[in-house]
A = this chain, B = another copy of it.
């Protein structure tokens, strides 16, 4: 990751990551071998090792980083501008739609499982994801509640909203019921609702 690639090289690497991500979504991380990735990306072994000297595990890390970015991406453009109650509601709808579509599947969770949940790589990727996500939500809480009290500091509020998403998603995955996520989000956002709405 710290090696400098040419623009063309970086594009090729990214193409491999995206193809590997699709393959892993389809087959599952544990079932995907280096040969599968090589076949799916039409690359030679030496090409793969040029871009990923660490082999399969380095590819899995890159794919997990990609999937973590997708988690944020699925919430845009709403997550990037949560300054109105309407944008918060749209964000909530986008989150619900995204996770209802995924259902029991959790591409990032499958990858961090395969990397080892408490491995430094998995932990760094998930921690960065949570921090990025929390920062966006904190900014949104501050923007929405400017000039009035949200009843708690903005980052605590953001952390609680994020935990509501994580809890709802885990419970959806375990039971197939989307109601946990819906109601957890509704109640986590409730204190932010402007009085005039």
Contact = CB atoms under 8 A, between A and B. Distances in A.
Interface string A128-168: 00100000000000000000000110001101101111111
Q: Chain A interface mostly helix, strand, loop or mixed?
A: helix
B126 A174 contact: yes
A150 to B, nearest CB: 10
A130 B171 contact: yes
Contact of A175 (B104, B130, B190): B130
Nearest to A188: B160
Contact of A176 (B123, B157, B184): B123
A181 B191 CA distance: 19
A183 interface: yes
A181 to B, nearest CB: 7
A164 B164 contact: yes
B175 A167 contact: no
A186 B163 CA distance: 12
A170 B112 CA distance: 13
CB-based closest 5 A-B pairs? A167-B167, A163-B167, A163-B184, A166-B167, A160-B187
Given A130-B171, A187-B191, 17 more contacts: A104-B117, A104-B118, A123-B174, A126-B174, A130-B174, A156-B187, A159-B184, A160-B164, A160-B187, A162-B180, A163-B168, A163-B181, A164-B188, A166-B170, A167-B167, A167-B170, A187-B188
Interface of A: 104, 112-113, 117-118, 122-123, 126-127, 130, 151-152, 156-157, 159-160, 162-168, 170-171, 173-176, 179-181, 183-184, 186-188, 190-191
